[in-house]
Structure 1
Amino acid sequence: MAEITAALVKELREKTGAGMMDCKKALNETSGDLEGAIDWLRKKGLAAAAKKAGRVAAEGLVGVVTEGKKGAVLEVNSETDFVARNDKFQDFVANATKVVLTAGADIEQVKAAPYGNGKSVQDELTALIATIGENMNLRRGQVLEVGQGVIASYIHNAVAPGLGKIGVLVALESSGDEAKLQEIGKQIAMHIAAAQPQFLDTSSVDQDALNRERDVLTEQAKASGKPEEVIAKMVEGRLRKYYEEVVLLEQVFVIDGETRIKKVIENAAKEVGAPVAITGFARVVLGEGIEKEESDFAAEVAAQAGR
């Protein structure tokens, strides 16, 4: 009988996508024979996840949870929107998001963290893939925390409490009234969902992004044929417009259409009885940046009929 080493268990897990304990059991049942263990897992339906791992998963849900001075957001992808309405999938996303609160935003750490039923998060996900029959994966998470104040949240296109298509967290540091802070935070979180800011303030704008924007605006201004000093002023004016588009504190509040977010925060201080500062935000959009496969439904039906 071959020795059941950690490396052998790891290899079997990578080949099949099955849980660690199931891999150990399979190797024990087959006296350490790797190919036999793969067949054993397939017969038990535990290797189903491996067959689905290559399929594009761009649907699913974003989960958001807040607890005390901390909040977490997690994106879990599936292949179809239908799965997002599955109670078991919803329960998994909600519970996995809570794990992010303690395990942190690193997805590998989240996968390895205890799910709460004797399994790891990854093992629970693998079992869910086998049950539902679609590829699924934990894509990204974020955590925000304040020393004092609140973490406010918002879910857009919610299918259940804390679950939807866009998840937003915003951190408000303040010693003021927490109930009022939550109200203001919720409004700002809704603004973030709609206005899509990329940076908190002008000092946090990525320098490479700023340089690229400056180069584009300079070339555009040169086309006007105006003198260099005029071109410089035109570029600076257009850069201010760029800030208003991508910087949260420079954006116009979508709820009233006229007040800048930095002014909204200044006004909030009077309402809550203490200075308020936005120290961070997170905005996670389901499937953002994933290249989806284009499918011809009619061709699919025809192909199925021809089988």
Structure 2
Amino acid sequence: MAITAKLVKELRDKTGAGMMDAKKALTENDGDMDAAIDWLRTKGLAKAAKKSGRTAAEGLVAVKVEGGKGVAVEVNSETDFVAKNAEFQSMVAGIAAAALGADDLDALNAADLGGKSVADTITDKIATIGENMTLRRMAGIEGDTIVAYVHNPAADGMGKIGVLVAMTGGDEAFGRQVAMHVAAANPAALNADSLDPAVVEKERQVQIDIARESGKPEQVIEKMIEGRMKKFLAEITLLGQAFVVNPDLTVEKAAEEAGAKITGFVRLEVGEGIEKEEEDFAAEVAKAAQG
């Protein structure tokens, strides 16, 4: 029986096995889907399908810089134990290196990693390590100088928070200070122009409602709103924030004094925005015992 791409895809969808493993299973079993599934199970290659529904909110962010380009990737696992696993860390490092040549997440999933696609490599690791894993995000940045920083690194170039800062002028030491600031302060955007207009408008409406509750005259309210919005924008934009190294200066002013211009940044934090399931200790132990 001819082993078509459609058959391979169907088997992969059912088992979570890698492309080559699925093709081999079908070939070994003359295209019989049920027999191919059993074959994969006996080889331990269908485990990934069982794990795929579990919440993966731990893991690592890895950063990689080459010339004037930097990338950050987030690869998630279910537990922090796996994030400390040398096999997992090696895979994440490989994915970060592959990301330098990828334009987006789809391209990265399809990128070659030691003879297999990144997506298939992750699927294989799910089967061997026994936890759900996902390549969740990637972000890239370009500039004259790119400085990378990892907060509390678990291994070289990877940890829970990864930051990239792009700038012109200045030196690497100053760039690292800015990257550390970004890790700590978590700015929403580089400057006011880079902010999502919907975020700004939402805050403005909130401030209008608060100001009107005061019962003050309209002209006073307008000044109140103007002042509060200025403060809001300063607090959430990188260039407007007080520099952690010297709070008497804004980041923008500190950059000027260092002879630098910050042109962009990327900050990824493991599990950011993922809703974690809450379990009591007994349930957690029971789940671990079931495998």
TM superposition score normalised by structure 2: 0.96
Q: Aligned equivalents of 2:93 and 2:286: distance in 1?
A: 38
CA 1:42 to 1:299, structure 2 compared with 1: closer, same or farther past 3 Å?
closer
Structure 1 position 9 matched with structure 2 position 8: yes
Letter in 1 for 2:12: R
1:111 to 109, 112, 116: 109
Which residue in 1 is equivalent to 2:135? 138
Letter in 1 for 2:32: D
Deviations 1:257-295, CA, capped at 9 Å, x for gaps: 1110111111121xxxxxx32221100010000000111
| CA positional deviation for 1:23 | 0.9
Which residue in 1 is equivalent to 2:188? 198
Deviations 1:145-201, CA, capped at 9 Å, x for gaps: 12xx21001101211111100000011134xxxxx5211111000000111101111
Gaps of 5+ in 1: 175-179, 270-275
Letter in 2 for 1:132: I
Gaps of 5+ in 2: none
Which residue in 1 is equivalent to 2:230? 240
3-state SS, counterpart of residue 116 of structure 2: coil
2:168 to 173, 197, 201: 173
CA 1:304 to 1:69, structure 2 compared with 1: closer, same or farther past 3 Å?
closer
Give the 5 Å matches for 1:143-292: 143-146=140-143, 149-174=144-169, 181-269=171-259, 276-292=260-276
| CA positional deviation for 1:303 | 8.3
Q: Aligned equivalents of 1:242 and 1:29: distance in 2?
A: 63
Q: Give every structure 1 segment of 4 or more consecutive aligned residues whose post-TM-superposition deviation is greater than 2 Å.
A: 298-305
3-state SS, counterpart of residue 18 of structure 1: coil
CA 1:120 to 1:242, structure 2 compared with 1: closer, same or farther past 3 Å?
same
TM superposition score normalised by structure 1: 0.91
CA 1:164 to 1:220, structure 2 compared with 1: closer, same or farther past 3 Å?
same
Q: Aligned equivalents of 2:195 and 2:284: distance in 1?
A: 45
Q: Aligned equivalents of 2:196 and 2:285: distance in 1?
A: 47
Structure 1 position 126 matched with structure 2 position 110: no
Letter in 2 for 1:164: G
Q: Aligned equivalents of 1:299 and 1:119: distance in 2?
A: 37
May I ask how many residue pairs the two structures share in their alignment?
A: 290
Letter in 2 for 1:210: V
| CA positional deviation for 1:34 | 1.5
| CA positional deviation for 1:35 | 1.8
Identity between Structure 1 and Structure 2 (%): 56
1:298 to 262, 282, 287: 282
The alignment's C-alpha RMSD in Å is: 1.6
Q: Aligned equivalents of 1:83 and 1:304: distance in 2?
A: 14
Give the 5 Å matches for 1:14-29: 14-29=13-28
